[in-house]
Amino acid sequence: MANICTPKSFDLTGKVALVTGASYGIGFAIASALAANGATICFNDLRQDLVDKGLAAYEEAGIKAHGYVCNVCDEEAVQAMVAKIKEEVGTVDILVNNAGIIKRIPMIEMSAADFRQVIDVDLNAPFICAKAVIPGMIEAGGGKIINICSMMSELGRETVSAYAAAKGGLKMLTKNIASEYGQYNIQCNGIGPGYIATPQTAPLREPQADGSRHPFDSFILAKTPAGRWGEAEDLGGPAVFLASSASDFVNGLILYVDGGILAYIGKQP
Ligand code: NAP
Ligand code: GCO
């Protein structure tokens, strides 16, 4: 008989989690939730001073994390980081592809170089990171990959063509990893956050000169049945679920954590 679900099904004790770009923001909150449920945390950032800042934040939160300097777009560097983690901490059991960027530029004004850069960080890098950890997961008998998708995996809006193309692609990369490696007991799922209050969305929430709300801020409140922006911590529970054995038969799913945005037509006038 299959195991019934108990609190132990969510326990991540003994698991090694690599959360990319997790010095702060959503990555930090997800890593903190994984750590609170027993996982050992590894993360990376672009420079040593940023890694050091991240390490200090984890220490302040009572978490012993392992930080690495690595650009997720650099395949050689990612392979070297995963090898170093194996040597210093253990095989990566859980990968969270969190590192990401956005450029808000009207499409006909956007250079191809800018478009490519967004695709490189938000789509090519998750491929590079997943490719680097999957052989170790196969050898270990299984693993979990969580790709941080977006509302823009489903919806478009003005100025975010590259981001939407990348996050839409990431949704399909998620389904393809699930399809190709499910036979090795690897589950690859996505989390699609709604509008979350982090540095990435700070420009959309900045109060106006007269102290009133930014129009985009009001727009999001009206679009979200929950009536608020998400907090990075709102993503912790879904991440623990998708990282744990409680979700062992969930594969290729994008779990939208959006306060109901995708279910809603918007506030009536
Ligand atoms: P954020 O505040 O901008 O943080 C992004 C993180 O990614 C930073 O730590 C950044 O490092 C890191 N990063 C960027 N490029 C990198 C690279 N090439 N190599 C390594 N690290 C890199 O963003 P966030 O809001 O926490 O978002 C995290 C993820 O969730 C992103 O994939 C984003 O697209 C997605 N997301 C965000 C929202 C939202 O509303 N905030 C909603 C849906 C999805 P630095 O320290 O160098 O800046
Ligand atoms: C934007 C936003 C986003 C969100 C997020 C929504 O400019 O529309 O930054 O795209 O951050 O990804 O899920």
Question: Nearest C-alpha to atom 42 of ligand 1 is from which residue?
Answer: 193
**For the residues 227-243, what does the mean pLDDT come to?**
98
Position 137 scores a pLDDT of 98
**For the residues 60-66, what does the mean pLDDT come to?**
98
Mutate to test the pocket of ligand 2, among 105, 151, 155 (most ligand atoms within 8 A of CB): 151
Q: What distance lies between CA 10 and its chain's CA centroid?
A: 19
Residues lining ligand 2, judged by CB closer than 6 Å? 102, 104, 150-152, 157, 160, 163, 193-195, 200-201
Sign of the C-alpha dihedral computed for residues 227, 163, 168 and 29 taken in this order: negative
Model confidence pLDDT, tens digit, residues 87-129: 999 999 999 999 999 999 999 999 999 999 999 999 999 999 9
Cβ(137)–Cβ(60) below 8 Å: no
Could you give the domains of the chain? 16-196+230-263 (3.40.50.720)
Whether the pLDDT of residue 2 is over 90: the answer is: no
Q: How far is CA 19 from CA 24, 153, 157, 166, 227, in A?
A: 11, 20, 28, 19, 29
The model's confidence at residue 1, banded by pLDDT at 50, 70 and 90, is low
To the nearest whole percent, how much of the chain has pLDDT over 90?
Answer: 98
Model confidence pLDDT, tens digit, residues 183-193: 999 999 999 99
To the nearest whole percent, how much of the chain has pLDDT over 70?
Answer: 100
pTM of the model: 0.98
Whether the pLDDT of residue 208 is over 80: the answer is: yes
Model confidence pLDDT, tens digit, residues 66-95: 999 999 999 999 999 999 999 999 999 999
Position 269 scores a pLDDT of 87
Point out the ligand 1 atom lying closest to the alpha carbon of residue 102: 34
**For the residues 223-228, what does the mean pLDDT come to?**
97
Active site residue 264: no
Mean pLDDT taken over the chain = 97
- Which residue in the list 68, 163, 181, 195 is annotated as catalytic? 163
The model's confidence at residue 173, banded by pLDDT at 50, 70 and 90, is very high
Position 92 scores a pLDDT of 99
Whether the pLDDT of residue 247 is over 80: the answer is: yes
| Angle (CA) 111 117 123, round 5° | 130
Mutate to test the pocket of ligand 1, among 32, 95, 101 (most ligand atoms within 8 A of CB): 101
Report the relative pairing of strands 143-148 and 186-193 from DSSP bridges: parallel
Whether the pLDDT of residue 43 is over 70: the answer is: yes
**For the residues 155-182, what does the mean pLDDT come to?**
98
Distance CA 178, CA 263 (A): 25
